[in-house]
Amino acid sequence: MDGQPYHMRPWDEVLGPVHKVEEIDGQCLALIGKILVILPQELAARLGEAKGQRVGILRTDNDFRIRIISESVPSETRAIDPIKTFA
């Protein structure tokens, strides 16, 4: 991955889909949306599992919190029209 990685400060949050995750020199480099961010190495496995999903990464005073905002939805899934369902 090219470019200067962003070092998150306490209470920074990065949101976006996980595009790429690499472990380099004992750290994790992740491309989240358009932002290349440097994270602790222990987050690499969890972010690797979330590839293609939209995530939020929050840095607190003590650690990092990861949440999956949306998972990939199969193309067969359709919205149900509630009016027709209960008519």
- Chunked mean pLDDT (size 10), the chain, 87 residues: 86 96 96 96 95 95 92 47 43
Inter-CA distances, 61 with 24, 57, 66, 75, 85, Å: 24, 13, 14, 40, 48
1 assigned to some structural domain: no
d(CA 59, CA 84): 45
Residues of the chain above pLDDT 70, percent = 78
CA dihedral over 37, 41, 43, 44, signed as positive or negative:
positive
- The number of domains in the chain is 1
In this prediction, residue 38 carries a pLDDT of 96
Q: Domain range holding 46?
A: 6-85
Reference 33, options 51, 46, 15, 21; nearest CA is: 15
pTM score, whole prediction: 0.75
73 assigned to some structural domain: yes
Question: Residue 57 corresponds to which tokens in the numbers above?
Answer: 């990464």
17 assigned to some structural domain: yes
In this prediction, residue 70 carries a pLDDT of 75
